[in-house]
Amino acid sequence: QSSLCSLACVFLTDKQSGLGDHVEDPEGCGSCFCQALYGNVDPATYLSTVEEDLPEQELLFKKSDAEAMGQVLLIRQAENDASWTARKKEALLKAAAKCKENRYRAPWGCRWFADWKENVDKAGQQGQKFHVFYFEGKVGCGKMAWEDLKDETKLQEVRDSTGLGKSQTAEVAWLDRLRIPYEEHDVGDFYRFIQQHQ
């Protein structure tokens, strides 16, 4: 039934689903996909802070995420700004050490990309057409070459006027790299599109 739709998106929400996991890039000379996707990440990505009171369930999520990603979790106590700033400075040093220990790879990992790529491969094998949805009024904006993804300067230039989320930017770059054709749409047309393909 060619009118049916499938979704390539991947959401890894905990350690069990693959959050924090890394997958070797066949073209990466022994490195995982993180190097191609992000280059060396900022050590600050290994620090997770909680500066205000959170409901117990949200705090549990924060703790679970930090554990899955190997982050330093810093929770503000009843303390003045000077104390909080000093503790953050100390925590950043610990985060930098964790980042170095993890070879400057993204703490959230790159399993999501490997799983997404597998979904794309399956869709292609089944002869499905690909569709990319952009932010409202931004169709076609924010595309990058695969080789430029880890260039922070170029990435920031694109982010200022992009029509894609961060992960989508990498996904579309991969499609372009493999010259996989796709149709581009405004997100405002999403529900109409789905209704037409049910």
Q: Is the pLDDT of residue 33 over 80?
A: yes
d(CA 125, CA 117): 12
pLDDT of residue 3: 57
Contact status, residue 102 vs residue 70, Cβ threshold 8 Å: yes
**Cα–Cα distance between 173 and 37 in angstroms, integer?**
10
pLDDT digits (tens, 9 = 90+) for 47-81: 999 999 999 999 999 999 999 999 999 999 999 99
Q: Which residues contact 79 (CB under 8 A, 6 or more apart)?
A: 87
| Residue 141 pLDDT greater than 70, yes or no | yes
What pTM, to 2 d.p., does this model score? 0.90
Do 141 and 134 contact (CB within 8 A), yes or no?
Answer: yes
Closest CA to 104 of 171, 48, 22: 22
Q: Could you tell me which of 91, 95, 93, 115 has the C-alpha nearest to residue 107? A: 95
Reported as a pLDDT band with limits 50, 70 and 90, residue 91 is very high
Write the DSSP symbol of residue 52.
S
- The count of other CB atoms within 10 Å of the CB of residue 185 is 15
pLDDT 10s digits, 142-167: 999 999 999 989 999 998 899 999 99
